[in-house]
Amino acid sequence: MSDKLTEIMAWKRREIAPIVRDVSLDELAQANAALPSAPSFASALRRPDTCIAVISEIKRRSPSAGDIRAGASSLDQAMRYQTAGADALSILTDERYFGGTLDDLRGVTAHFRATASARPCLRKDFMVHPVQVLQARQAGASAILIIVRALDDSEIRTLKLAADAAGLDALFEVHNEAEIDRALMHEARIIGVNNRDLSVFKTDLGLSERLIPKIPSPIIAVSESGIFTAADAARVRAAGAHAVLVGEALMRADDPAALIGSFRSA
């Protein structure tokens, strides 16, 4: 792991320590059965036409970009994305490094449940324990993030089983060929290539161009980070991406609908 990712993961383990407890698969399954159903994240990324799907991210800041839209309302931004036709949302729930909270996720999913055009939401956080999976399901998420580089195989297995029991999809984030192999070993259905090298915070779309063709075709391939223009979306789509995850560009955009439209028409 990079120094920054190591720092973040160490902090996350300390942060959740007060709430860590045994969370059984039965408890997760019971929660899933008792809670309102959430739309499928995986299905949203399999568009019936030839356009690339767009996962629009709510992100106020990041370690690499600093403040993006400090103080932005997650609900207002979600409504802008909904109107713009985003296929799914990614909502940062890490406060220390990204300025998000679980309340952002809860508020957005509650809003979507009251509308006729719900969007599936990814809980974007540094997942290390099933209690976070339970939180995600209770907050209305449709999917969680599993960062392969940040976890050992036992932790990945535990999180994947927890997600399955809770009725959540899992987006496996990878940065190299070995991590694709590890994700496939854990029966990943969605694999995202993060174009940002977390060791130096340099972004290179060439990583998606190199790695996405190595992802077996039944798996949904997502290109994450560094997507700012229609040309960027076209590059990763040509490499085989089914979807792009876009945060900074959409958070800064005056007209998210125009930008999302440009991605789809690329």
Angular region, 66: left φ>0, alpha ψ -120 to 50, beta rest: left
Does residue 198 carry a pLDDT above 80? no
Q: Average pLDDT, stretch 3-20?
A: 94
| 196 vs 224: which has the higher pLDDT | 224
94-118 burial: b if 16+ Cβ within 10 Å, else e: beebbbbbbebbbbbbebbeeeeeb
**Beta-bridge mates of residue 108:** none
Q: Average pLDDT, stretch 99-116?
A: 92
Residues 127-174 pLDDT 10s: 999 999 999 999 999 999 999 999 999 999 999 999 999 999 999 999
Q: Cα 133 to chain center, whole Å?
A: 13
**Beta-bridge mates of residue 194:** 224
Nearest to 212 by CA among 230, 195, 188: 195
Residues 65-89 pLDDT 10s: 888 888 899 999 999 999 999 999 9
Does residue 37 carry a pLDDT above 70? yes
- CB count in 10 Å sphere of residue 70: 9
Asked if 193 and 207 count as a contact pair (C-beta separation under 8 A), the reply is yes
Q: Cα 98 to chain center, whole Å?
A: 13
Nearest to 122 by CA among 107, 109, 103: 109
Confidence class of residue 116 from pLDDT cuts 50, 70 and 90? confident
**Beta-bridge mates of residue 245:** 55, 224
Tell me the residue type at 8: I
| 48 vs 26: which has the higher pLDDT | 26
The CATH label, of 3.40.50.300, 3.20.20.150, 3.20.20.140, 3.20.20.70, for the domain at 3-18+35-265 is 3.20.20.70
What pLDDT shows up at residue 47? 82
15-40 burial: b if 16+ Cβ within 10 Å, else e: ebeeeeeebeeeebeebbeeeeebbb
Q: Cα 56 to chain center, whole Å?
A: 9
Confidence class of residue 201 from pLDDT cuts 50, 70 and 90? low
The two beta strands, 61-62 and 66-67, are antiparallel
3 state SS of 48: coil
**Beta-bridge mates of residue 67:** 61
Tokens, residue 230:
């229609």
